[in-house]
Amino acid sequence: MADIVSQAWFWPAVFVSVGLPLLLIGLTEMYNALVRGGSRAAPIVLMVRNYLVPVAAIMVLISQPGAWDEEQSWFKVFATIFGLLVILVVINAVDHLVFHRAEKGSWRDRFPTIFSDLIRFVFIIVGIALLFWWVWGADVAGVFAALGVTSIIVGLALQNAVGSIISGLLLIFESPFEMGDWIETNEDTGYAYGQIVEVNWRAVHLDTGNGILVIPTALLADGSFTNLSRSPEPYLAKREVEFGTDDPPGRVRELLVRVARDIPVSSPDREPTAATLEGSKYSVGIPLQNPGDRSGALDAFSTRLWYAARRAGLHLDGDDTDEWRTADRLQKALHQIAPILGLRGGEADALASSARLERYCQGEVILRPGTVPDATRFILDGRVVLGIPTEDQGFVQVTTLGRDDAIGITALTRTTTISRAVALSEVDVVSLPVAMLDEIVRGHPLLAREIVRESENRVRLARAALAAVGEVLPYGRSMLG
């Protein structure tokens, strides 16, 4: 027994026969655990188990004295195979640990794929060269010298092309933008505005809303641009407008802010801004939740501003004509609603001194929650949705109002309304101020009863609409306009 233990091959044989199965079992369990966890390291462990460990065991056995010929050719072959496997395992392990497990936003996450591929290729070439030098005694100095000279020649020949590519790759590595960001380039790079839909080592692809614009990354690296999505404040969509020289600037700025605040895509985290410029020009800034909403927001703002300026008696673009709001049309409107109010023709004509014609565009808010209506508006033409805003549902529709229906019936009781009325189409109304309504009710008491009946009907509709979505009416019945 002592003679066997003293043999040179005994302990290596024990290591291979006992340690190899245990190591294979351990690696198998590790591989199964990584597969269950969805880890990218599972293929690396599988490669170690199936190839690296068996080849290492064979090398241990054939490395014993007298196992092979004196030159140990087979040992060198297995050593070469083992070295290649080590190179592959190490490169894949480093790639997994450094890049695939990188935290979002870190330098490893921003590292360009082409750089990692180039580094991997260089390490493979260098590793193979060193392996052949160590195992076979090959002279690889000439290979490195030729590689260096070739790199210099190719670099000089492609200096401009490679320089632009490197500039683009460095820009990607810096990562001033990412997929989905909105950017705006300056004049030095050619003006462009759009959302990033693809980024590669050569170009950035922008969705401009009118096709895909491809901008070389080198052009962005040499120029300047603005990342609209990375501003700490909401993006401001700006527009300049002009009013009449006789329009009070304070009223104009107040109107601009009010119209901008009602744009659906405006950000609730910041108030719109309005400033007076030279002459009768004004600048308005609309904070947006998403820079991509700029075109739609500015279009909606310009449309609504036209209607709001007409209602406010201000002169957008210096225009002081209003061919729609005429005395004849007002008289016809009052005669249209006279039966609703219980008035005769002469009584309706008497309202012309205080009544007003108003027009709203689709999407405009006619009645706001949390306010006491200063007038009751009767619909002459168009459709209006009446609803209640809630925290969970956003907006619960109660009913749709049409011709001859009233908006703001809580004006008579001076009660704060909880409802919101939004125009579903272009809407024409005639507005009767509260003082006028008081006079009409004193002369026609039955009108007050009709208003109460309509208010109760809307409360009943509101309770049913809210109950359908699991909500309850939070306030008294007289608060629904």
Residue 135 belongs to a domain? no
> What is residue 153's three-state secondary structure?
helix
Which residues are bridge partners to 359 per DSSP? 428
| Cα–Cα distance for residue pair 59/68, rounded to 1 Å | 12
349: nearest Cα among 366, 333, 334, 365: 334
Q: In the predicted model, is pLDDT for residue 362 greater than 90?
A: yes
Q: In the predicted model, is pLDDT for residue 47 greater than 90?
A: no
- Low-confidence winner among 94-98, 159-163, 194-198 (lowest mean pLDDT): 159-163
The answer on 451 and 388 residing in a single domain is yes
Q: In the predicted model, is pLDDT for residue 452 greater than 50?
A: yes
Residue 167 belongs to a domain? no
Fill in the amino acid letter for 397.
Answer: Q
Contact 88, 47 (CB under 8 A): yes
The answer on 301 and 333 residing in a single domain is no
Contact 42, 35 (CB under 8 A): yes
| pLDDT-based confidence at residue 133 (cuts at 50, 70, 90) | confident
pTM: predicted TM-score of the whole model, two decimal places: 0.65
Q: In the predicted model, is pLDDT for residue 125 greater than 50?
A: yes
* pLDDT of 461: 87
Direct distance between the N- and C-terminal alpha carbons of the chain, in angstroms, rounded to an integer: 105
Structure confidence by residue, pLDDT tens digits, 378-428: 999 999 999 888 877 678 888 999 999 999 888 888 888 888 999 999 999
Residue 161 belongs to a domain? no
Mean pLDDT (the chain) is 79
Residue 212 belongs to a domain? yes
Residue 409 belongs to a domain? yes
Residue 131 belongs to a domain? no
The answer on 466 and 345 residing in a single domain is yes
* pLDDT of 253: 94
Range with the largest mean pLDDT of 59-68, 127-136, 159-168, 310-319: 310-319
The answer on 186 and 291 residing in a single domain is no
The answer on 357 and 244 residing in a single domain is no
The answer on 341 and 275 residing in a single domain is no
Fill in the amino acid letter for 466.
Answer: L
Residue 122 belongs to a domain? no
Q: Which domain holds residue 246?
A: 235-312
| Cα–Cα distance for residue pair 317/471, rounded to 1 Å | 46
Q: What is the C-alpha R_g of the chain?
A: 39
380: nearest Cα among 438, 439, 322, 423: 423
Contact 75, 45 (CB under 8 A): no
Contact 411, 376 (CB under 8 A): yes
Q: What is the DSSP letter of 199?
A: E
| Cα–Cα distance for residue pair 472/465, rounded to 1 Å | 9
Burial class (CB in 10 A: 0-12, 13-18, 19+), 34: middle
Token pair 């061919």: residue: 323
The answer on 418 and 367 residing in a single domain is yes
- In sequence order, the 6+-apart residues with CB closer than 8 A to the CB of 189 are 215, 219, 220, 222, 223, 224, 225
Token pair 């306030």: residue: 475
Token pair 């009645």: residue: 367
Q: Final residue of a domain: which of 58, 85, 111?
A: 111
Q: What is the CATH number of the domain that holds 417?
A: 2.60.120.10
Q: What percent of the chain has pLDDT over 70?
A: 76
Task: Tell which phi-psi region holds residue 317, choosing left (phi > 0), alpha (psi between -120 and 50) or beta.
Answer: left
Section 108-130 average pLDDT: 69
* pLDDT of 140: 64
| Beta strands per DSSP E along 263-395 | 273-276, 281-288, 356-360, 365-367, 375-381, 384-388
The answer on 13 and 77 residing in a single domain is yes
Give the chain's domain count.
Answer: 4
The answer on 26 and 77 residing in a single domain is yes
| pLDDT-based confidence at residue 1 (cuts at 50, 70, 90) | very low
27: nearest Cα among 4, 50, 9: 50
Contact 234, 292 (CB under 8 A): no
* pLDDT of 272: 93
Which residues are bridge partners to 274 per DSSP? 284
The answer on 380 and 434 residing in a single domain is yes
| Cα–Cα distance for residue pair 195/229, rounded to 1 Å | 10
The answer on 339 and 263 residing in a single domain is no
The answer on 99 and 78 residing in a single domain is yes
Other beta carbons within 10 angstroms of residue 480's beta carbon come to 26
Residue 281 belongs to a domain? yes
Q: Could you tell me which residue, 439 or 12, shows the higher pLDDT?
A: 439
